[in-house]
Amino acid sequence: MEFGDGAGVIVETEAYHECEPACHAYVGLTNRTRVLFGPPGQAYVYRSYGIHALLNAVCEPKGVGAAVLIRALEPLRGIEQMRLRRGMERERDLCSGPGKLTQALGIELSENDSSLTTGPVVIRPAAGDWRKPTIVQGERIGINHAVELPWRFCAAGNRNVSRPRL
């Protein structure tokens, strides 16, 4: 994933679908949720708790409200700028959560409804050793509804995933 001068490998995600109450699309089509019901490959960016912009990738055909929250990245490029934005040194803490990674990269609400293939945020296919990572699956975190769904996915053993680690 790339944005501006920063880039990293996605190492943790969580899935959300209109059929379950933790998904914003659960309430149906509204001005806020319209992006979730749009074509796949769009960015759905929203403000969480009035603090952090969170980045999601719309992932179902047009008309189905669903997205994947990008929870964590392994930083690869622009690390010094990420440190400045986050005010910390330890690399594994820069992008180890959805709010942390958007802060580190400088992603804001203005990226909402933009293409994830042509930018400004770009998600590219995995390369090199990342083509076939070992993935572990678990319950989603940081929500109050449908917590039991095993829709959290992490690169096994990666130190950049959020806590609790799977």
What is the predicted pLDDT for the residue at 1?
95
In a domain, 161, yes or no: no
Tally of domains within the chain: 1
Instruction: Provide CB contacts within 8 A for 31, sequence distance 6+.
Output: none
| pLDDT of the residue at 47 | 94
Is there a domain that residue 162 lies in? no
User: Does residue 24 lie in a domain region?
Assistant: yes
Residues, the chain: 166
Quick check: is 97 in a domain?
A: yes
Q: What is the DSSP letter of 84?
A: H
> Which helix (H) or strand (E) is 11 found in, with range?
strand 6-17
**Domain for residue 81, yes or no?**
yes
Instruction: Give the pLDDT score at 128.
Output: 84
Q: What's the chain's average pLDDT? A: 95
- pLDDT given at position 51: 87
What tokens does 96 get?
């180890």
Classify residue 164: in a domain, yes or no: no
Q: Which of 162, 150, 135 is nearest to 20 (CA)?
A: 150
Q: How confident is the model at residue 49 (pLDDT cuts 50, 70, 90)?
A: confident
Q: How many CB atoms lie within 10 A of CB 102?
A: 25
User: Does 160 reside within a domain?
Assistant: no
**Does position 160 have pLDDT exceeding 90, yes or no?**
yes
CB 145 within 8 A of CB 57: no
Give the CATH number, domain containing residue 82. 3.10.300.10
Range of the domain at 9: 2-155
**Does residue 163 fall inside a structural domain?**
no
Share of the chain above pLDDT 90, in %: 86
